[in-house]
A = this chain, B = another copy of it.
Amino acid sequence: MAAAENKTTLDQLRRIRGIDIDTSERLALFRRKIVTVEAGDTIIFEGQEKRRGYFLCSGWASSVRHLIDGSDQILDVRIPGDFIGISDMRLKHAPHATEAITRVELAPISFRALLSMSAGAGQLAEAILFSINCDMAIISEHLVGVARRNPQVRTAHFLLELSERLTRVGIDDPDCFHCPLSQYLMADVLGLTAVHLNRTLRQLRERGFVSFKSATVDIRDRAGMIEFAGFDPSYLHQAQSRSAISGLVGPDGRSNGNGYFRAN
């Protein structure tokens, strides 16, 4: 029943993205001091202009939009090993806030160093581009969930996604892990009211799928849950191997095999 907290250091970046980052690159990007932000404080404000990117070393954060009517929508939960603020670095104003859920440790990233690297050559730039792609896939999946999945399925899907993402950065037990979200926050992620999420969690518990008590997610029947939620984790993995680049369709413009193209 115990759920260990997990802490990711910069040195683990290599493992996190499944890509070997050579040390010099890493040093160019991460030579600054680690900064700490307390739980509940804001890392990047919505609309903020000058800002930088971070690598989240430890703790949980959230990407959140504040609406005019006072309600919030959490777009994504950020866990150790995630980048923060790079998937919107070319927008003048931050399109959403990033707030610390727990106390977090952040390694600032130099945009300048990042941009001066060749997108094709740098393994780190590679990892970062991949990371942006993943963030996009995660948010897309949330959109699908909120729009098309009922609360029970949606909640189960989210908990499985969390387990999967945490596993990638190394938790002890994928079936029993620490999750510092209050039911209010989780409801916010899922686009539900806290009251209704509470009822939904009870239903998932009664079905024997999963329990969520005292900040601990306890997956009791993973197989059943995956089946029930229609969970397919492929959107979280799937690094495009570098060699695969050569496998892309060449510059001749010929068909990629799906048979639908027609040259003008």
Chain B residue contacts of A88, Cβ below 8 A: 133, 136-137
CB interface residues, A 93-112, toward B, < 8 Å = 93, 95-96, 105, 108, 110-112
Within 8 A of B (CB), among A74-117: 75, 87-93, 95-96, 105, 108, 110-117
Contact of A67 among B43, B140, B144, B191 (CB under 8 A): B144
User: Does A1 interact with chain B (Cβ within 8 Å)?
Assistant: no
A65-B144, A136-B136, A143-B75 given; A258·B45 CB < 8 A? yes
Interface size on A, residues (CB 8 A): 90
1/0 per position for A131-143, CB-CB distance to B under 8 A?
A: 0111111011011
Q: Is B93 touching A238 in the complex (CB atoms < 8 A)?
A: yes
Contact residues in B for A65 (Cβ distance below 8 Å)? 140, 144
Q: How far is the CA of A112 from the CA of B88 in the complex (A)?
A: 23
**How far is A140 from B235 in the complex, measured between Cα atoms in Å?**
17
A155 and B257 CA atoms in complex are apart in Å by 37
B264 near A36 (CB under 8 angstroms)? yes
Asked if residues B248 and A52 are in contact (CB atoms below 8 Å), the reply is yes
CB neighbors of B among A134-171 (8 A) = 134-137, 139-140, 142-144, 146-148
- A35 at the B interface (CB under 8 A): yes
Report if A24 contacts B (CB, 8 A). no
- Distance of A227 from chain B, by nearest CB (Å): 10
User: Of B73, B129, B256, B264, which contacts A51 at CB under 8 A?
Assistant: B256
- Copies of the protein in its oligomer: 2
Query: Separation in Å of the A76 CB from the closest CB of chain B?
Result: 9
Q: B37 and A240: CB pair below 8 A?
A: no
Residues of B within 8 A of A38 (CB): 260
A140 contacts which chain B residues (CB < 8 A)? 63, 65, 75, 95-96, 139
* Interface assignment of A16: CB less than 8 Å from any CB of chain B: no
Q: Which of A's residues lie within 8 Å of B, judged by CB?
A: 31-38, 41-43, 45, 47-52, 63, 65, 67-69, 71, 73, 75, 87-93, 95-96, 105, 108, 110-120, 125-126, 129-130, 132-137, 139-140, 142-144, 146-148, 191, 230, 234-235, 238-241, 244-245, 247-249, 251-253, 256-258, 260-264
